[in-house]
């Protein structure tokens, strides 16, 4: 239900009530909004005990009453910030564990006793989970007042940090399930643990003074533009400079250190300054998004220039609300740090924020709390706490695939996306099952063919619709990206399913990779700098440099709006130059890492630097790029390789570069290894660039020699099943295993060298033929380039017993100096597994060769059984290396259960094997089986059983598509007379949408 207004406010109490109000330890925003609710409760004659870790002055500056009692206790820590703009996800989980999990029993006992001691009539939480459980234990009703809940915030952290933290999220949801109902504030996140909800207006602090009074007290003339800098602490190492502000502006700085030296056009605000008055008196605000800043900016119509915070999952929903009411301008973090503020501030003061809804949420919430304490029942009785918890688990802790957006995020995002109609257009099918070519007909295709690919048709349709009016920032930016009278190049690169080979690629193994149906599309246009339509901040940046048009790269990434990455990226291409030479890869990695919300751009922009460095390509024109990927991220299906390959293919096509698919893949690997900083092998990029639909790309990774395309026999079918556990090739587990393998190879080469010396010393020149053969083998092993070139029997005969289980980095370096891997670094303090990472690629290479040979053998039950056995062996070898996961192990076990069931045996065998894929540590499981209806039914059965056990419904990868080389590129041009309605009022729309 929604309550917009209470005409009588909060009535004076009919009896004296006692409220226990718990406040989370995350920032001041919660405390300030709680203060507004508390003020109304106290004015109604009630006692309020506030349980908080916030300073007293936050409450006492607004509420001076003997009825206010402050109890300083911290019962949850919120999100730990690495700096003013970045949340440390792992540290947040660890601190919450220390604060609220380990002492949980003691907390519950103390809080239950305390609630009974003060004779509390109602417990209110914003939004401390354990408060709800303590209230239930004390026999007291409880209500939450919030716009987000910690189970929602932490769910994504758990996926990033590891599922061993998952119990934290489940416990929080269980605690919230004891809450009677939720008073929900605007800008809310999905909160499935609460099944009964009352929506109220914004809760904002009241104004004490008029804007004119505030300016007079501050001594700020009316003709001076005033901006309040409100970050709750400044980014570390940041020094404010006078030139950051346009002429005639003054900046009021919140939270500035007493020792900080400020320029003359910056002024430090007192620690206890009342910010609502100052916000209302300012022309705009610059800061990070939080409920307090957004609500007060909207309430008092102060335009808000905001910088994204990384990994605080409340932000996208507040950001959408802010932009919906035309009150926000996003600033790139790079421009914040470098002081390029002018275009954003000037844009902000041109806005006309239009929030007209109520701002009396504090009064409304207090009325509801009072009536609840009197005994009024706002909640429905049909849902028990256990039912709410079950629904929370079903709705909450799933990751879901959806085309064109960040993938490994809680399903709540998908819910919000549906509500906002933000999904990419689907590919409609006609009654014959063929893709409708709506959107394609708006373009002349000057080169290439869509090849009947429905996702390519859908991408072209999305291009044709970009001129429509959009409210989403990424769509508005994309609508401005291209000159529709010029040619556009479109490329496509799929992800890949690792059927066999996996992590043995960096050891030179044969690998078998299948390009999947899901792919990344890139649209690119070259523009002369004098004709390039720049975004306003990029134009201002060029003007500041003298105004001469120079080449600029502008990228829009679809699918970022509800994620932790910015939707746009731009840079002067001259930033890639150091004098007359390209900058180093090390400098480039640092350049992209300075803003985590834009680190994704390294995968796209990095290809330009690699082409400059490796091929000497000079880029004199500006480049506009639109990137839209449906390859799920974090699933181990090479989402990053698809982006890299599609981006480089588009740049090559637009610039007339004749690069073979193989060479393009090798160049893309350099992007990932040296600019992104992920130590991947080359098979991902090769599969994406060189693969063909319904075939396995057979490649020997020394470094990338294609040995053929292997047809998948008609009686065999391959699936991928996503475990829901986020995989990252840049993770520590993968890197440690890779280091262990290179350590093992160094040890083998050293031992071979010593063996060769010993034989020669013992026998002199009198070597018989057998000894000469031994010498030749030892010579080969002394100069081993790839671990996979060592035959398994030689390893077992000579080296297996001498390779240690593990070794300290310091010990290895003392004896061997280095491990000769250019993309990983040994940490002296770290202990590395060596034996298992060394054994794996030696035997994996043999398994892949056997697998490839079996695929071309006669069809038989033994063929399928043996193929499946090879997958199982690979899977357990991954686990021995430390690259397994609970989720992938569970899926493999489910496949085994189905395979050996009586029903399967009666069918003559259906599913026959499964293995973890790619870099391991989660991601996707590859399953092989008989191509029949029963196998498909069994895959569906496994999907449902996995969901029942884990609460997560896996995505199933089925089908294949051509690699980037086979697809080629499209060169398209908008038709002069487009389909009716597609480009109406084009110029007017562009002008209106200009950002």
3-state secondary structure 109-125: HHHHHHHHHCCCCEEEE
CA distance 8 to 42: 16
Cβ contacts of residue 940 below 8 Å, gap of 6+? Answer: none
Q: Is 889 a catalytic residue?
A: no
CA distance 854 to 341: 63
CA distance 893 to 891: 5
> Considering only CA atoms, which of 326, 324, 328 is closest in space to residue 287?
328
Residue 706 pairs with which residues in a beta bridge?
699
CB-CB contact of 796 with 849 (8 Å) = no
CB-CB contact of 924 with 637 (8 Å) = yes
What DSSP element (H or E) covers 553?
strand 552-557
Alpha-carbon distances, residue 501 vs 173, 683, 824 (angstroms)? 41, 9, 20
Burial class for 534, CB neighbours closer than 10 Å (0-12, 13-18, 19+): buried
> Considering only CA atoms, which of 625, 356, 319, 643 is closest in space to residue 472?
319
**Separation of CA 323 from chain center:** 21
Residue with tokens 């041109």: 350
CB-CB contact of 633 with 407 (8 Å) = yes
Residue 571 pairs with which residues in a beta bridge?
553
Would you call 925 helix, strand, or coil by DSSP?
strand
Alpha-carbon distances, residue 654 vs 419, 524, 843, 853 (angstroms)? 37, 7, 43, 41
The conformation of residue 360, written as its DSSP 8-state character, comes to B
Cβ contacts of residue 924 below 8 Å, gap of 6+? Answer: 497, 635, 636, 637, 720, 721, 722, 723, 727, 917, 918, 957
CA distance 830 to 809: 6
Strands 81-83 and 197-199: unpaired
CA distance 156 to 19: 33
CA distance 265 to 261: 12
Residue with tokens 């491990």: 819
The conformation of residue 637, written as its DSSP 8-state character, comes to S
Alpha-carbon distances, residue 304 vs 227, 319, 833, 881 (angstroms)? 10, 10, 51, 50
DSSP labels, 8-27: T-SPPPSS--EEEEEE-SST
CB-CB contact of 715 with 695 (8 Å) = no
Would you call 340 helix, strand, or coil by DSSP?
coil
CA distance 27 to 151: 18
CA distance 730 to 474: 27
3-state secondary structure 547-594: CCCCCEEEEEECCCCCCCCCCEEEEEHHHHEECCEECCHHHHHHHHHC
CA distance 677 to 216: 53
Quickly count: other Cβ atoms within 10 Å of residue 236's Cβ.
9
The conformation of residue 352, written as its DSSP 8-state character, comes to -
Cβ contacts of residue 604 below 8 Å, gap of 6+? Answer: 522, 555, 557, 569, 625, 627, 643, 644, 647
3-state secondary structure 443-467: EEEEECCCCCCHHHHHHHHHHHCCC
- Catalytic residue of the set 310, 498, 505, 684: 684
Would you call 605 helix, strand, or coil by DSSP?
helix
Catalytic residue ranges: 684
């Amino acid at each position: 239900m929604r309550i917009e207004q209470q005409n009588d406010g909060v009535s004076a109490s009919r009896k004296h009530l006692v409220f226990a109000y718990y406040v989370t330890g995350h920032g001041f925003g919660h405390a300030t909004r709680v203060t507004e609710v508390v003020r109304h409760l106290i004015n109604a004659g009630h006692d309020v005990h506030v349980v908080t870790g916030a300073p007293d002055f936050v409450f006492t500056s607004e509420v001076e009453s003997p009825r206010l009692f402050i109890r300083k206790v911290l019962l949850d820590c919120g999100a730990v910030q690495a700096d003013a703009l970045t949340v440390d996800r792992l540290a947040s989980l660890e601190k919450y564990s220390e604060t609220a999990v380990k002492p949980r029993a003691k907390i519950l006992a103390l809080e239950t006793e305390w609630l009974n001691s003060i004779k509390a009539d109602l417990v209110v939480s914003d939004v401390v989970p354990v408060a709800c459980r303590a209230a239930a234990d004390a026999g007291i009703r409880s209500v939450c007042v919030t716009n987000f809940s910690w189970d929602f915030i932490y769910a994504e952290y758990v996926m990033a940090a590891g599922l061993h933290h998952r119990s934290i999220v489940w416990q929080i949801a269980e605690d919230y399930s004891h809450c009677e109902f939720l008073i929900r504030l605007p800008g809310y996140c999905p909160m499935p643990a609460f099944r009964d909800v009352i929506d109220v207006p914004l809760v904002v602090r009241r104004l004490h003074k008029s804007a004119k009074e505030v300016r007079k007290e501050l001594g700020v003339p009316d003709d001076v533009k005033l901006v309040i800098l409100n970050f709750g602490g400044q980014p570390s190492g940041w020094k404010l400079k006078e030139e950051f502000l346009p002429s005639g502006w003054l900046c009021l700085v919140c939270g500035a250190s007493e020792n900080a030296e400020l320029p003359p056009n910056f002024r430090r605000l007192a620690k206890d300054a009342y910010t609502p008055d100052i916000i209302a008196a300012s022309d705009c605000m610059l800061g990070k998004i939080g409920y307090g800043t957004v609500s007060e900016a909207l309430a008092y119509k102060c335009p808000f220039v905001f910088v994204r915070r990384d990994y605080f999952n409340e932000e996208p929903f507040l950001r959408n609300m802010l932009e919906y009411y035309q009150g926000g301008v996003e600033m790139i973090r790079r421009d914040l740090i470098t002081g390029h503020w002018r275009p954003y501030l000037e844009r902000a003061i041109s806005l006309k924020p239009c929030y007209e809804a109520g701002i009396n949420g504090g009064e409304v919430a207090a009325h509801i709390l009072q009536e609840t304490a009197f005994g009024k029942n706002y909640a429905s009785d049909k849902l028990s706490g256990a039912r709410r918890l079950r629904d929370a688990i079903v709705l909450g802790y799933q990751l879901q695939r959806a085309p064109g957006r960040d993938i490994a995020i809680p399903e709540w995002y998908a819910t919000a996306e549906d509500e906002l109609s933000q999904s990419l257009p689907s590919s409609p099918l006609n009654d014959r099952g063929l893709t409708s070519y709506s959107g394609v007909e708006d373009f002349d295709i000057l080169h290439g063919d869509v090849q009947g690919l429905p996702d390519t048709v859908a991408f072209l349709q999305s291009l044709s619709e970009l001129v429509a009016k959009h409210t989403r920032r990424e769509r508005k930016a994309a609508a401005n990206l291209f000159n529709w009278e010029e040619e556009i190049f479109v490329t496509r690169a799929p992800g890949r399913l690792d059927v066999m080979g996996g992590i043995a690629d960096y050891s030179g193994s044969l690998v078998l990779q299948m390009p999947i149906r899901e792919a990344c599309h890139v649209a690119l246009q070259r523009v002369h700098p004098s004709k390039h339509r720049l975004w306003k901040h990029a134009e201002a940046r060029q003007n500041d440099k003298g105004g001469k048009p120079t080449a600029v790269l502008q990228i829009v990434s679809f699918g970022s709006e509800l994620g932790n990455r910015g939707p746009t990226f731009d840079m002067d291409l001259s930033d890639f130059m150091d004098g007359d030479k390209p900058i180093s890869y090390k400098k480039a990695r640092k350049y992209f890492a300075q803003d985590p919300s834009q680190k994704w751009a390294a995968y796209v922009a990095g290809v330009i630097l690699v082409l400059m460095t490796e091929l000497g390509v000079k880029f004199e024109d500006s480049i506009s790029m639109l990137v839209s990927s449906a390859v799920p991220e974090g699933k181990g299906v090479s989402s990053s390789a698809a982006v890299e390959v599609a981006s480089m293919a588009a740049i090559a096509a637009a610039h007339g570069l004749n690069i073979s698919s193989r060479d393009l893949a090798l160049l893309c690997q350099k992007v990932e290894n040296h600019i992104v900083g992920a130590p991947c092998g080359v098979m991902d990029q090769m599969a994406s660039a060189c693969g063909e639909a319904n075939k396995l790309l057979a490649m020997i990774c020394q470094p990338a020699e294609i040995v053929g395309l292997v047809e998948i026999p008609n009686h065999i079918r391959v699936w991928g099943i996503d475990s829901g556990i986020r995989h990252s090739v840049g993770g520590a587990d993968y890197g440690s295993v890779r280091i262990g393998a290179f350590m093992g190879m160094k040890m083998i080469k050293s031992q071979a060298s010593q063996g060769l010396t010993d034989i020669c010393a013992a026998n002199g020149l009198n070597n018989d033929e057998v000894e000469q053969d031994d010498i030749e083998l030892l010579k080969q092993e002394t100069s081993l380039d790839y671990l996979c070139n060592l035959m398994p029997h030689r390893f077992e005969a000579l080296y297996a017993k001498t390779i240690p289980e593990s070794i300290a980095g310091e010990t290895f370096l003392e004896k061997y100096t280095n491990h000769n891997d250019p993309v990983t670094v040994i940490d002296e303090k770290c202990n590395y597994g060596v034996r298992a990472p060394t054994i794996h690629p030696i035997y994996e290479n043999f398994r892949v060769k056997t697998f490839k040979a079996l695929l071309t053998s006669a069809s038989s039950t033994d063929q399928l059984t043996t193929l499946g056995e090879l997958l199982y062996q690979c899977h357990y070898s991954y686990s021995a290396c430390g690259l397994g996961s609970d989720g992938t192990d569970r899926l493999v076990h489910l496949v085994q259960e189905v395979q050996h069931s009586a029903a399967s045996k009666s069918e003559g065998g259906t599913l026959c094997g499964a293995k973890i894929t790619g870099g391991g540590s989660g991601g996707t499981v590859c399953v092989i089986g008989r191509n029949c209806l029963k196998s498909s039914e069994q895959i569906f059965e496994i999907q449902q059983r996995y969901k029942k056990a884990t609460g997560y419904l896996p995505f199933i990868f089925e089908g294949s598509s051509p690699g980037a080389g086979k697809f080629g590129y499209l060169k398209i041009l908008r038709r002069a007379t487009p389909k009716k309605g597609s480009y109406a009022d084009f110029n007017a729309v562009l002008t209106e949408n200009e950002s």
